[in-house]
């Protein structure tokens, strides 16, 4: 038996125990996966788990693209755009802080993105788990997340555009996506309905992985590739079917991805400076008043605006992507801020989101 099977069995057992411990309190298991990696990652050979963690990340970003397809973009109202604009002020502020710390424009943009972007995966899952999808603030929060993901996708293209060929590939792929939607979406959807679930699953996995390989080969971001594929599939009317088919594989891969992130963060966490801690706390503090104001310009009550501010605290998948990219390009400070933000904000944000109604009502009384 191959040694990777033993590593997989050990990892999934630990992840299952961690998820079981937080499940009864309705917290997302991502925080448990990170903590398990931090505590026990030194005893686990994470390299032997590949390619499942990398595939899990791609499928996670594919799912984000599925949630924010063209139909969802068309539904974005003016009040949601105004709320997203207030939230987006963190990006230039974080970039200015990076420039003030002596980073070049790429490093400063990466720091701004790390301080700005919230986690669509964590927040959407919490909204569903807490049964708040029908609440007025949830519509605004989901719209702001669409706004964030689009801006971060553009930022990734800017800082990891690679050569002119890489940027051309990204633009060409978006062009193909647009043509498919304009000319052949109904016909393609009709043909795919005739295929078995097994074949659709294989075609979906092949689309995501092969596009990611292509983007990586030309120096573009694999994250952008997966996101574009998800948006394309949503535009072709495949959201529900692919979400149903890919979600079990995605959830397993995501669990292993966050485990490996926690394990690999040991070295970063052990050498964190006061500067990194201050930047991480500042990033969370900046978002709170801006998103409260965003809730108000979206015509929500003071109570619902307070909820919007607390819902957008958790950071996750894009922070880890930006942090990994920063480490590859030598911006250690940005990578440490990204990892620390994820480690702090997921447990804290989950707690705030779950208890915010109780705390607010108690404060009012």
DSSP-derived 3-state class of residue 272? coil
Q: At CA 272, angle to CA 334 and CA 336, rounded to 5? A: 20
CA distance 25 to 19: 10
Q: Which residues of 345-364 are buried (b: 16+ CB within 10 A; e: fewer)?
A: bbbebbebbbebbeebeeee
The token pair that represents 113 in the structure block: 């993105």
Q: Does the pLDDT value for residue 94 go beyond 90?
A: yes
pLDDT classification of 138: cutoffs 50, 70, 90: confident
| Most confident by average pLDDT, 39-53, 75-89, 110-124, 347-361 | 110-124
Q: Does the pLDDT value for residue 161 go beyond 60?
A: no
What integer best gives the mean pLDDT of the chain?
A: 81
* Contacts (Cβ under 8 Å, ≥6 apart) of 139: 80
Q: What is the pLDDT of residue 72?
A: 62
149 vs 364, higher pLDDT: 149
DSSP-derived 3-state class of residue 147? helix
DSSP state of 47: G
pLDDT classification of 75: cutoffs 50, 70, 90: low
CA distance 347 to 355: 12
Contact call for residues 260 and 37 (beta carbons, < 8 A): yes
Contact call for residues 240 and 193 (beta carbons, < 8 A): no
CA distance 111 to 95: 6
Q: Does the pLDDT value for residue 162 go beyond 60?
A: no
| Average pLDDT for 27-50 | 75
Residue pLDDT, tens place only, 6-17: 778 878 888 888
Q: 284 is in which domain, residue-wise? A: 3-364
Q: What is the pLDDT of residue 109?
A: 92
Q: Taking the CA atoms of 103, 226, 169 and 72 in sequence, report the sign of the dihedral they define.
A: negative
Q: Does the pLDDT value for residue 241 go beyond 60?
A: yes
First to last CA, the chain: 62
Percent share of the chain, pLDDT over 90: 14
Residue pLDDT, tens place only, 163-204: 556 667 777 777 777 777 677 767 777 777 777 888 888 888
| Average pLDDT for 310-335 | 85
Contact call for residues 308 and 143 (beta carbons, < 8 A): no
Could you tell me which of 283, 343, 328, 259 has the C-alpha nearest to residue 56?
259
User: Considering the entire predicted model, what is its pTM?
Assistant: 0.75
Q: What is the pLDDT of residue 274?
A: 86
DSSP state of 48: G
| Tally of domains within the chain | 1
From residue 150, give the alpha-carbon distance in Å to each of 60, 69, 244, 352.
15, 11, 24, 26
17 vs 89, higher pLDDT: 89
CATH at 34: 1.20.1530.20
């Amino acid at each position: 038996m191959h040694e990777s099977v033993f590593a997989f069995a050990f990892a999934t057992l630990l992840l299952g125990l961690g998820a079981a411990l937080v499940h009864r309190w309705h917290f997302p298991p991502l925080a448990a996966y990170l903590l398990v990696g931090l505590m026990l990652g030194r005893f686990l050979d994470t390299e032997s788990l590949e390619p499942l963690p990398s595939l899990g990340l791609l499928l996670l970003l594919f799912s984000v693209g599925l949630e924010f397809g063209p139909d969802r973009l068309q539904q974005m109202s003016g009040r949601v755009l105004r709320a997203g604009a207030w939230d987006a002020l963190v990006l230039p502020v974080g970039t200015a802080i990076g420039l003030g710390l002596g980073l070049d424009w790429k490093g400063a943009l990466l720091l701004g993105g790390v301080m700005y972007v919230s986690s669509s995966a964590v927040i959407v899952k919490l909204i569903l788990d807490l049964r708040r999808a029908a609440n007025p603030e949830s519509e605004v929060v989901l719209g702001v997340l669409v706004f964030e993901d689009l801006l971060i996708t553009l930022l990734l293209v800017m800082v990891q555009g690679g050569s002119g060929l890489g940027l051309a590939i990204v633009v060409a792929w978006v062009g193909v996506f647009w043509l498919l939607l304009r000319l052949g979406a109904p016909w393609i959807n009709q043909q795919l309905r005739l295929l078995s679930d097994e074949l659709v699953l294989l075609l979906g996995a092949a689309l995501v992985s092969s596009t990611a390989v292509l983007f990586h080969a030309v120096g573009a971001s694999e994250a952008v590739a997966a996101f574009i594929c998800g948006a394309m599939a949503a535009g072709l009317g495949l959201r529900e079917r692919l979400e149903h088919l890919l979600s079990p594989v995605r959830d397993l891969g995501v669990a292993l991805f966050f485990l490996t992130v926690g394990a690999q963060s040991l070295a970063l966490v052990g050498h964190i400076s006061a500067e990194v801690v201050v930047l991480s706390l500042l990033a969370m503090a900046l978002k709170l008043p801006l998103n409260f104001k965003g809730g108000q310009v979206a015509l929500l009550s003071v109570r619902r605006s307070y909820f919007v501010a607390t819902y957008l605290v958790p950071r996750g998948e894009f922070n880890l992507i930006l942090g990994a990219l920063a480490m590859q390009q030598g911006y250690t400070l940005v990578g440490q801020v990204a990892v620390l933000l994820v480690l702090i904000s997921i447990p804290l944000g989950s707690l705030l989101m779950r208890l915010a109604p109780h705390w607010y009502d108690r404060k009012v009384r």
